[in-house]
Amino acid sequence: MPKIEIVAVPARMGSGYPAPFNTPCADRIRKRLGNAGGLSDFGVNLMRLPPGNWSSQRHWHSHEDEFVYLLEGEVVLIEEDAETVLRAGDCAAFPKGSGNGHHMINRSDAVAVYLEIGSRSPDDLTTCSDIDMMSANSDGRFVHKDGTPYPDA
């Protein structure tokens, strides 16, 4: 099994969301470890979430399971009807098709570090729960829920 040199994996700050939906995630940093290792069936991301930042817009997946494991720090997991504190050593799973949108917010004073793992179904549709936005894995574009594109997307 080839070792992945994490320091050599490119870091991407922010998100691909169109404005203004990108603002809450502006300082998050993602390293795509799965891509660096040549994985194609599932993704593994090393995420750094600074205080005040969101992991994503609250969302759910039609055809992708998702899993997070906290390595350092603390975040608040926001779901449809609940908020749950996750600390280092905690994990959470999000089955595909649940309709229960989720995201995490770092309300602490320290950077949170976690692994984000998900399948890569080409049929997946990501639906945002609180805003008029969705995205299909087939093209990766963010569009309104009626399918019309965002002007800057």
Q: What is the pLDDT of residues 53-78, one digit of tens each?
A: 999 999 999 999 999 999 999 999 99
Cα 15 to the chain's mean position, in Å?
9
What pLDDT digit, counting tens, does each position of 74-127 carry?
A: 999 999 999 999 999 999 999 999 999 999 999 999 999 999 999 999 999 999
Note the pLDDT tens digit of each residue in 30-56: 999 999 999 999 999 999 999 999 999
Domain with residue 77: its CATH number is 2.60.120.10
Cα 133 versus chain centre, distance: 15
Residue 45 lies in a domain: yes
Q: Does 7 map to a domain?
A: no
For residues 145 and 127, the answer to whether their CB atoms sit within 8 Å is yes
Report the distance separating Cα 153 and Cα 151, nearest Å: 6
Residue 111, domain member (yes or no): yes
Reported as a pLDDT band with limits 50, 70 and 90, residue 1 is low
Q: Report how many domains make up the chain.
A: 1
Q: Is residue 117 part of a domain?
A: yes
Is 15 inside a domain boundary?
Answer: no
The answer to whether residue 19 sits within a structural domain is no
Q: For residue 46, tell me if it sits in a domain.
A: yes
* Segments forming the whole domain that contains residue 91: 27-136
Q: Dihedral sign, CA of 110, 27, 34, 135?
A: positive
Q: Residue 35 contacts by C-beta under 8 Å, 6 or more apart in sequence?
A: 43
Indicate whether 149 belongs to any domain.
no
Q: Give this prediction's pTM.
A: 0.93
